[in-house]
Structure 1
């Protein structure tokens, strides 16, 4: 999708300093992907009380294998 947007020049420059992106298009694409990934990631607080660990899981047995 093509679109024209006005970006804050100082913010763009700072983003370039923290990224290895070569173009503004690449920079904006990465920022959008990261935004969506963060939005999709479950909040750890939502997992409280869900019993996600198997009852037979033995972390001590795994330590012995070191």
Structure 2
């Protein structure tokens, strides 16, 4: 899909330098992929109280060997 957009040239140049992208297209593609990946990652706080994290788990007791 072709789209024309106005980009901040200084920001694009900085992004290209930071990530090593050689073209504007590459840096925009990387940014979009990172944004999507970040949005899809589960927030650990969202797991609190689910089957993944027991609210009564006492890591200090486990580390001390009083189990």
TM range (shorter): 0.7 to 0.9
Match runs of 1:1-66 below 5 Å: 1-52=1-52
- What secondary structure is seen at the aligned counterpart in 1 of 2:19? coil
Give the TM-score of the pair, scaled to structure 1.
Answer: 0.73
Q: Which runs of 5+ in 1 are unaligned?
A: 54-59, 61-66
Q: How many corresponding residue pairs?
A: 54
CA distance in 1, matches of 2:5, 2:18: 21
CA distance in 1, matches of 2:20, 2:11: 15
Larger relative contact order, structure 1 or 2 (CA cutoff 8 Å, min sep 6) = 1
Q: Over aligned residues, Cα RMSD in angstroms? A: 1.5
CA distance in 1, matches of 2:31, 2:19: 10
- Runs (4+) off by over 3 Å: none
Give the TM-score of the pair, scaled to structure 2.
Answer: 0.72
